[in-house]
Structure 1
Amino acid sequence: MRQRPVPIPRTPAPPCKRGPDVSVAPLVSVVIPAYNRVASIRVAIESVLRQSWTDFELLVVDDGSTDGTQDAVRAIPDPRLRLIETPRNMGASAARNLGIEEARGDWVAFQDSDDEWLPLKLEKQMARLLAPRPEGEAGYVAAYCGMMILGEPHGPVGAPDGRMWPRYFPGPEEGVVEGDLLVPLLRMSLISTQTLVARRDRLREVGGFDPELRALIDWDCVLRLAPLGPIAFVDEPLALQRFSTNSITRDRARKLAAQKRMAEKHAALFAAHPKLSARHHYVMAGGHRIAGDLPGARAELALARKLDPGNARYWGMSLGLAALSLLPGRSPDNGSDLK
């Protein structure tokens, strides 16, 4: 029997300055956290304001920007737009949580300050969320959609795993899934924050986003949402997410630390699914290998083999690491050739 996750401790929010309000509560609140995004915030905001679904408010939580982001937001004259300013930088998770607390809509959607939505995103997701459910089936607690992952503005770039952008996510290797997503989400992160629309009361129930995590924030949040009810999926690219090779390289160490934290934080869930836990350790082994940390990679692989001893992939990587350690001129614990 699944246990509901314990709400995370909240980071106390400092006093905030709030913009003008409107009198009628909307059905949807859209939250954009922003920190020093003066160059991209207008595009992100306008992609929300262009939505065919119009029953929403847009809350931009400026998280202590020092580059004029607040002025860029104020320059957009739309009564649905409300600027919330924090006197210091609290981090994206705390900024989103502040947006959830300020939200008046029954549903909360999230956009990132450097990404874009296509005009039909909210309309198509809300159509799924508000459609009558079969008798006896629980209502959806959230919905997500597909997105296009883009590279640099001047064309596709090569991803570190060999794939090219632009790329549709979730693709064939991830699969198209909806409903009870707990097990699929234990396998991998399927839902990016800017594709998520969730019930406000459920977001508050699980404690929103964890301010202690520096990566995989969306994965952690939806893992806590999944036990509360089914999640719908709109299999269309309704959001655009931009990445660069520099950002991925810069975030490797942060992502690996977050993966370890996820294994600890959701230990009970992973323990109930040993093969999925093994896969998680295998993925972390790959992170250590890319970083040149062969001892760390071997330790994670040992855990993966223990949990799923019949998986040939884990043994294959172990043999590959052993071969690397025997290369002439290489110390067994020197992974400099992998950096």
Structure 2
Amino acid sequence: MISVIVPTHNRRSLLERKLQALEGQPGEFEVIVVADGCTDGTVEWLERYPAGFPLRLLETQGKGAAYARNRGAEVARGEILLFSDDDVIPRPGWIAAHQRAHAAPKTVAVGRLLLPPGLKGSGAAELPGPTLFWWNATGNNTSLPKSLFEEVGGYDSTHFAGYGGEDPDLAYRLKKAGARFVFVREAEAIHEAWDYQNSAMGRARKAGAAHMRLYRKYKDAAIAWALGVHPVLLVLKMTFLPWTKRLLGPRGDYELAYAWGAWEEYQTAR
């Protein structure tokens, strides 16, 4: 059985769309919604929602996605955990595709994320595939055995309580534990990335800072090069991106903000 773990914070309309998309999906599954500091009536609405599948509600007090996901994993009854945020709307066959991916042990299955046309090139998470790296395993559309999740200690909600960093941190530990990362094209979902355009630069800066903290946590240069935060690379980015970012289109502003966040975090720690 799959346990779908959905952290949510004040996005009731998106959450409703997600749950509606899960109605009628084939396969044995439960859904665990972790309402993290919600003040928009999400909890009351969920208590009345007539779900056509097993639905469980947990509440946490605004402690962030990493903590909320860990809390959902603790009570999950499924052998497989499927992490998927409230702004990720699954397409038909999503559950079944993730279930088929776990024939082999220690599999981390990453589904395909699609962006609405208006968010193309914005920096919001999209994985067209089929090339897959360990850092592509995010809380948007990723499943793995509960036993493997527990083996590596789950999400680090201490170092990564805010935005960013918790996903590659978990994925790095999964890689070190011998996990097999597979891309599951059939497990498609639309990443609505709610209000991303209005917050993209702030998110990029926070992500850069979080990834620099991740590099410092493990002191592994492979992390820094993979996530684009190695000090040598940052010097090049900070030197050339202000003049060349227009060549990258909308992505250029995102990359510069990301580099700034990483550079500021690097300077703070020196």
Smaller-chain TM-score range? 0.7 to 0.9
Residue 169 in structure 1 maps to residue 127 in structure 2: yes
Give the distance between the partners of 2:197 and 2:13, measured in 1 at CA: 19
- Structure 2 SS opposite 1:235: strand
1:216 Cα shift? 3.0
1:106 maps to what in 2?
79
Give the distance between the partners of 2:17 and 2:111, measured in 1 at CA: 20
- Structure 2 SS opposite 1:32: strand
2:232 maps to what in 1?
301
1:121 maps to what in 2?
94
1:205 maps to what in 2?
151
- Structure 2 SS opposite 1:246: helix
Q: Deviations over 1:296-332 (max 9, x none)?
A: xxxx23787xxxxxxxxx5xx57647989xxxxxxxx
2:248 maps to what in 1?
none
- Measured at CA, do residues 301 and 160 of structure 1 come closer, stay the same or move farther in structure 2, by a change above 3 Å? farther
**2:59 counterpart letter in structure 1:** E
1:110 Cα shift? 1.4
Which of 225, 241, 251 is the equivalent residue of 2:203? Answer: 251
- Structure 1 SS opposite 2:184: strand
Residue 284 in structure 1 maps to residue 239 in structure 2: no
CA contact (8 A) 2:95 2:187 kept: no
Matches within 5 A, 1:9-28: 27-28=1-2
Q: CA RMSD in A?
A: 3.1
Residue 225 in structure 1 maps to residue 174 in structure 2: yes
- Measured at CA, do residues 234 and 66 of structure 1 come closer, stay the same or move farther in structure 2, by a change above 3 Å? same
- Measured at CA, do residues 43 and 158 of structure 1 come closer, stay the same or move farther in structure 2, by a change above 3 Å? closer
1:43 Cα shift? 0.8
1:64 Cα shift? 2.3
- Measured at CA, do residues 201 and 254 of structure 1 come closer, stay the same or move farther in structure 2, by a change above 3 Å? same
1:33 Cα shift? 1.0
CA contact (8 A) 1:115 1:240 kept: yes
- Measured at CA, do residues 322 and 113 of structure 1 come closer, stay the same or move farther in structure 2, by a change above 3 Å? closer
- Measured at CA, do residues 249 and 199 of structure 1 come closer, stay the same or move farther in structure 2, by a change above 3 Å? same
- Measured at CA, do residues 322 and 216 of structure 1 come closer, stay the same or move farther in structure 2, by a change above 3 Å? closer
- Measured at CA, do residues 37 and 278 of structure 1 come closer, stay the same or move farther in structure 2, by a change above 3 Å? closer
- Measured at CA, do residues 51 and 194 of structure 1 come closer, stay the same or move farther in structure 2, by a change above 3 Å? farther
- Structure 2 SS opposite 1:104: coil
Give the distance between the partners of 2:90 and 2:128, measured in 1 at CA: 16
Which of 213, 216, 225 is the equivalent residue of 1:261? Answer: 213
1:62 Cα shift? 1.1
**1:169 counterpart letter in structure 2:** L
Residue 149 in structure 1 maps to residue 97 in structure 2: no
Give the distance between the partners of 2:72 and 2:137, measured in 1 at CA: 19
**1:240 counterpart letter in structure 2:** I
1:230 Cα shift? 1.4
Question: Whose helix fraction is larger, Structure 1's or Structure 2's?
Answer: 2
Identity level (%): 25
Give the distance between the partners of 2:114 and 2:83, measured in 1 at CA: 16
1:267 Cα shift? 1.6
Residue 59 in structure 1 maps to residue 32 in structure 2: yes
1:116 Cα shift? 0.5
CA contact (8 A) 2:25 2:95 kept: yes
- Measured at CA, do residues 91 and 160 of structure 1 come closer, stay the same or move farther in structure 2, by a change above 3 Å? closer
Residue 44 in structure 1 maps to residue 18 in structure 2: yes
Residue 71 in structure 1 maps to residue 44 in structure 2: yes
5+ long unaligned stretches in structure 1: 1-26, 134-138, 178-183, 286-299, 305-313, 325-334
Q: Deviations over 1:143-179 (max 9, x none)?
A: 11111022xxxx5246357xxx9x95144xxx524xx
CA contact (8 A) 1:149 1:169 kept: no
CA contact (8 A) 1:195 1:239 kept: yes
2:191 maps to what in 1?
241
How many aligned residue pairs are there? 240
Q: Deviations over 1:196-236 (max 9, x none)?
A: 11111111121211213130322221111123321222124
- Measured at CA, do residues 52 and 98 of structure 1 come closer, stay the same or move farther in structure 2, by a change above 3 Å? same
Q: TM-score, normalised by structure 2?
A: 0.77
1:29 Cα shift? 0.9
Q: Deviations over 1:179-199 (max 9, x none)?
A: xxxxx43xxx31231211111
Q: TM-score, normalised by structure 1?
A: 0.62
Give the distance between the partners of 1:194 and 1:111, measured in 2 at CA: 4
Give the distance between the partners of 1:322 and 1:98, measured in 2 at CA: 42
